[in-house]
Amino acid sequence: MTTGKEVVKSNAELGVTKEMQDMPWGETLSSQDYNLPRIDLVQGLSASAKTVSPGNWYHSQNNQDLGKEIGVVILDVVAGHMLKDETGNLIAIKWKSAQVKSFKPELITEDMIINRKYVQGSKAGIVDAYCYIAILNQSEPCLITLKASGCKAARNLNSMLAKKVINNDGNLEVLPPFLKKFKFSSRWVEKGAQIKFWEPIIQPDGINEGGYLKAAAELAKDLKNKTIAHDVEESDTAEPATGGAAPF
């Protein structure tokens, strides 16, 4: 078992700064199953839009409005699928790796994934999704899920993470994802009268280095042997036509 005290000592040995030692990692690292907060991009019909401005990023465990832009370091990515009803409400999640806990995965069959079949005559359907195990603002581990309207940004991010380099032996290799830092922001998108939503924007933000890099590597290694739990997310519904003009 890893305790908060042991984590601080380990980080100090890695050369992590005082700011890093004060990070709220102790509680999440104290059990076999990590319960990490979910970081969401808030849409106009999200439940969190009652307290967080649409287009901003939201912290699920403390209901915090994180603003328009957040800093992110990716530790790992897990692909999967979501089953949603016709209004965007989540029915089930099936991740391809057991590292992240799924939600009612038995409702999503391989036939549904391959053929994108609807369920029992309804308009519910399968949505591609990517779950990023990450560090938020160089301060705490979290989960960020990009799906539906966020899949374009997710695929671009995956391409940046999968960039290969030539090592000293002359072979191509993929660098660990936590070597890079990213900025996550958002923009308002309108695709006709009926489809309006906030789209995630992901941009490179330099290199992760020093004590932060060492701490990220240590955390990524530790997470590999754990199951990561998270609270079930809200719907990811685009703004309806009745939502009015862009909310600026």
- Would you write out the chain's pLDDT as a tens digit for each of its 248 residues? 333 333 333 333 333 344 433 433 333 344 456 788 999 999 888 888 889 999 999 999 888 999 999 999 999 999 999 988 877 778 899 999 988 989 999 999 888 888 776 555 555 688 899 999 999 998 899 999 998 778 899 999 999 998 777 778 888 887 889 999 999 999 999 988 778 899 999 999 999 988 889 889 988 888 887 888 876 655 444 444 333 344 43
35 closest CA partner among 182, 129, 105, 140: 140
Tokens of 139: 């301060």
* Residue 178 falls inside a structural domain: yes
Residue 246 placed within a domain = no
**Distance, CA of 223 to CA of 91 (rounded, Å):** 27
**Residue 41 within a domain:** yes
Residue 129 is assigned to a structural domain of this protein? yes
pTM for the full predicted model: 0.78
The 3-state DSSP composition of the chain as helix, strand, coil percent (nearest 5) reads 25, 35, 40
Residue 237 domain-assigned (yes or no)? no
**Domain housing 223:** 4-232
Residue 240 lies in a domain: no
Q: Considering the domain boundaries, does residue 244 fall inside one?
A: no
Q: Which two tokens stand for residue 186?
A: 């958002």
Nearest Cα to Cα of residue 224 among 60, 32, 80? 32
What's the pLDDT score for residue 119? Answer: 55
Per-residue b/e over 170-182, b at no fewer than 16 CB within 10 Å? eeeeeebbbebbb
Is residue 94 domain-resident?
yes
How many domains is the chain partitioned into structurally?
Answer: 1
The pLDDT score that the predictor gives to residue 225 is 75
